[in-house]
Chain A
Amino acid sequence: MFGYSMADIGNILVMQGFSGLSLFSVLLLMALGLAIIFGQMGVINMAHGEFMTIGAYTTVFLSKLAVKYDIVNYYFVFAIVAAFIIAFAIGYLVEFVLIRHLYKRPLDTLLATWGLSLVMQQIFRSTFGAKEVSAELPQWLLGAFQPTPDIEIPINGVFVMGLAAVVTFGVFLFMFRSRWGLNVRATVQNRVMAGAVGINTKKVDRVTFALGCGIAGVAGAAFTTIASTGPTTGSLYIVDSFMVVVFGGAASLMGTIASAFGIAQAQSILQFFMTSSMGKVSTLLVIVIILMMKPEGLFAAKVRK
């Protein structure tokens, strides 16, 4: 078939399947935080990419410390936690200073957060310099599994997959199995009523926004394993993140997962059989066509109109 042996084809199927799954987990990590903020609060957070960058810079910074104290093999897990905490804290602050004044004007959140993203990029540039930097990775994250001599599964890909699973599960628990999640969902459905029954809606908003930012930070930390970090790194990912969220249907966690999966598999398979650019373009075309037929996205939240 196509001039390759069956063994070759088999190996490639396995590796190709993995590469689709790995892209899926990357897209999912990018989009989860955005989906929470956009879906639950209606805030279009153009600075989402910059919160990823915060996570990435945190990891890079900690990796430099780790090199200094010779603990490179252990620091990475702490770096992820630190990335979450720092992005969460900054998100909390941003909500307080900027976002909470704009809840009644969702389109203005787009402008304000876009401005915020530019400001943050400049802060990164002034603080860390314009050049791209890389985190020092622990040994156990490098290299590949080799179940057979011809199949190689990148370990950093597996790691990102695991992380995406943990984060998604965590978000699920938070949103659907905790008191906090209940408050969030109640506030989204009817803010006035939620306030009337004693839910501190302001606090709920702040925590939700900060949580979304924190997850972006985790995504950023994860990305240091596959890409580099620079002041404009975030803007590379923001389009893909929005694509996943919009395609999935804003308010739904399931939608985000399904959309990330669909986009990743389509892209991965098309890129293999077409050229890389054409694969991307074709994926986008399919998304546009589906969105024309289902403007609310794959899994639209049922709203009473």
Chain B
Amino acid sequence: MSKYDRRQFMKTAGAVVGASLALGMTASASNVFAADFPTAKVNTTGLAVTDKTVKVGILHSSTGTMAISETGSIQAEKLAIAQINAAGGVLGRKIEIIQEDGASDWPTFAEKSKKLLENDHTAAVFGCWTSASRKAALPVFEKDNGLLFYPTFYEGLEQSKNVFYTGQEATQQILAGLDWVAKEKKAKTYYLIGSDYIWPRTAMKIARKQIEQHLGGKVVGEEYVALGDTQFGSVINKIKLKKPDVIYAAVVGGSNVAWFKQLNAAGINAKKQTLLTISVTEDEVLGIGGENLQGFYSAMKYFQSLKNPNNEKFVAEFKKMWGPKSVIGDVTQAAYEGPWLWKAGVERAGSFDVDKVVAALPGYELKTAPEGYVKVDPNHHLWSKLRVGEWRADGQADVVYESPLIKPDPFPKGYQ
């Protein structure tokens, strides 16, 4: 991933003498020297870059209700940065992390973004999780021309020059997953259920259109439960009455546990009922308990059980750093890609300047991603595959379907 685009290189490092140019073109990550890239050249916008170090920010919630989800992202980003540093850093500079806590509070995310960009002058920030936190931080990044790598699968309908989205947007997760379940399970009737906030509601809006207009199916019920709710008795009874072919779920966080436990207790299990969820990863399964999920499906782009050399290496090193009991979910993996993409962008640009990195990154192919091959699209999202995983009792999933590489489309026609 450290091969340079020759033209970019010539353009930005034209003054460098022939000897070091030759070195640069054949360079591997470990023998790029900061001296070949004088700070004055690679940083013309006053970022926190010195001859030896470059500062980046990690901005997630390590306290508050979202800490449960965001901890994995923090761990993955720290692992990626440690690996990059061990391999010689970025343009010969070691990455220093400034970690801030968004505390599951959206105004705090905005405030900390401001701090990371205006006081610390970080060259890039890896962070945010919920759409609400991203929307709060976004104006700050746009105003200060910062660079954010955002890891969570989300509802789409957004694109910013200052953000790279390493999770999947709606079409890559929702549409592809529904297509699979309609074809594979011959599903006609669907019951939609989600937590009551922006992501599930937008997701269900898109899902409903897909079901009714393209799959010839019928939505027999649509339901939202309050965040954190643990009482699903009435909802489950309604589902029993409607007898849908598929329960399509986007219940998030702690509610998930109650939801699946009560589904099972009410006799709705994989033997009788197809259930496809877009909000359960290995992280949630820890709380839900594999036995309550066994046989149900998740639509994600990554599962820890993926079999490929990149992933085996990633899982081993993640566990080495964060303990043998740690699990890796979809978002954790997407968070891991952030620092690597940023490094590639900087090296392709030969500069830390945000505008140059933003210009250099589209078209980049990350061949070492644990999920396999991904590519950065000009719309700042990644080309990725959808995978459907069938949960096992041990909390891991068997991948039963893998789509072709899907081009990201954050503004799908007819779904807005």
Please report A residues at the B interface, Cβ cutoff 8 Å.
4, 8, 11-12, 15-16, 18-20, 22-23, 26, 122, 125, 129-134, 136, 142-144, 146, 152, 154-157, 223, 225-233, 235-236, 267-269, 271-272, 275-277, 279-280
Contact of A271 among B234, B241, B254, B284 (CB under 8 A): B234
B408 to chain A, nearest CB (A): 30
Given A130-B67, A157-B233: 5 more A-B contacts, CB < 8 Å: A4-B241, A12-B241, A130-B68, A268-B233, A279-B234
Which residues of A are found within 8 Å of B241, using beta-carbon distances? Answer: 4, 8, 12
Interface contact B237-A236, CB-CB below 8 Å? no
Please report B residues at the A interface, Cβ cutoff 8 Å.
62-65, 67-68, 71, 196, 222-226, 228-231, 233-238, 240-241, 254, 257-258, 261-262, 264-267, 283-284, 286-289
Complexed CA–CA distance, A282 and B345 (Å)? 52
Whether A225 touches B267, Cβ cut-off 8 Å, given contacts A134-B287, A134-B288, A280-B226, is no
- Which of B71, B196, B267 is most buried by chain A, counting CB atoms within 10 A of its CB? B267
Interface contact A230-B261, CB-CB below 8 Å? no
Interface contact A276-B235, CB-CB below 8 Å? yes
Complexed CA–CA distance, A122 and B68 (Å)? 13
Which residues of B are found within 8 Å of A134, using beta-carbon distances? Answer: 257, 286-289
Interface contact B254-A230, CB-CB below 8 Å? yes
* Minimum-distance CB pairs A-B, first 3: A19-B233, A132-B287, A154-B265
Complexed CA–CA distance, A95 and B288 (Å)? 35
Which residue of chain A lies nearest to B228 when distances are taken between CB atoms in the complex? Answer: A236
Which residues of A are found within 8 Å of B67, using beta-carbon distances? Answer: 125, 130, 231-232
12 contacts between A and B (CB under 8 A): A19-B237, A125-B67, A132-B68, A132-B284, A133-B287, A143-B264, A155-B265, A226-B258, A232-B67, A236-B228, A268-B231, A280-B229
A267 to chain B, nearest CB (A): 8
Which residue of chain B lies nearest to A152 when distances are taken between CB atoms in the complex? Answer: B267
Interface contact B235-A230, CB-CB below 8 Å? no
Interface contact B224-A130, CB-CB below 8 Å? no
B236 to chain A, nearest CB (A): 8
Main secondary structure of the interface of B (DSSP, over half): helix
Which residue of chain A lies nearest to B61 when distances are taken between CB atoms in the complex? Answer: A130
Interface contact B71-A130, CB-CB below 8 Å? yes
Which residues of A are found within 8 Å of B286, using beta-carbon distances? Answer: 131-134
Interface contact A16-B261, CB-CB below 8 Å? no
Interface contact A226-B262, CB-CB below 8 Å? yes
Complexed CA–CA distance, A265 and B249 (Å)? 26
Which residue of chain B lies nearest to A230 when distances are taken between CB atoms in the complex? Answer: B68
Which residue of chain A lies nearest to B258 when distances are taken between CB atoms in the complex? Answer: A227
Contact of B224 among A19, A225, A230, A276 (CB under 8 A): A276
Contact of A146 among B225, B235, B267 (CB under 8 A): B267
Which residue of chain B lies nearest to A269 when distances are taken between CB atoms in the complex? Answer: B234
Whether A154 touches B254, Cβ cut-off 8 Å, given contacts A133-B287, A228-B288, is no
Contact of B234 among A19, A229, A233 (CB under 8 A): A19
- Which of B62, B196, B240, B257 is most buried by chain A, counting CB atoms within 10 A of its CB? B257
B94 to chain A, nearest CB (A): 28
B46 to chain A, nearest CB (A): 35
Complexed CA–CA distance, A202 and B287 (Å)? 41
Which residues of B are found within 8 Å of A133, using beta-carbon distances? Answer: 286-287
- Which of A22, A272, A276 is most buried by chain B, counting CB atoms within 10 A of its CB? A276
Contact of B237 among A15, A157, A231, A233 (CB under 8 A): A15
Which residue of chain B lies nearest to A122 when distances are taken between CB atoms in the complex? Answer: B63
Whether A144 touches B230, Cβ cut-off 8 Å, given contacts A16-B237, A131-B68, is no
Which residues of B are found within 8 Å of A228, using beta-carbon distances? Answer: 254, 257-258, 287-288
Interface contact B233-A132, CB-CB below 8 Å? no
Whether A232 touches B64, Cβ cut-off 8 Å, given contacts A12-B240, A26-B231, is yes
Interface contact B240-A15, CB-CB below 8 Å? yes
Which residues of A are found within 8 Å of B287, using beta-carbon distances? Answer: 131-134, 228-230
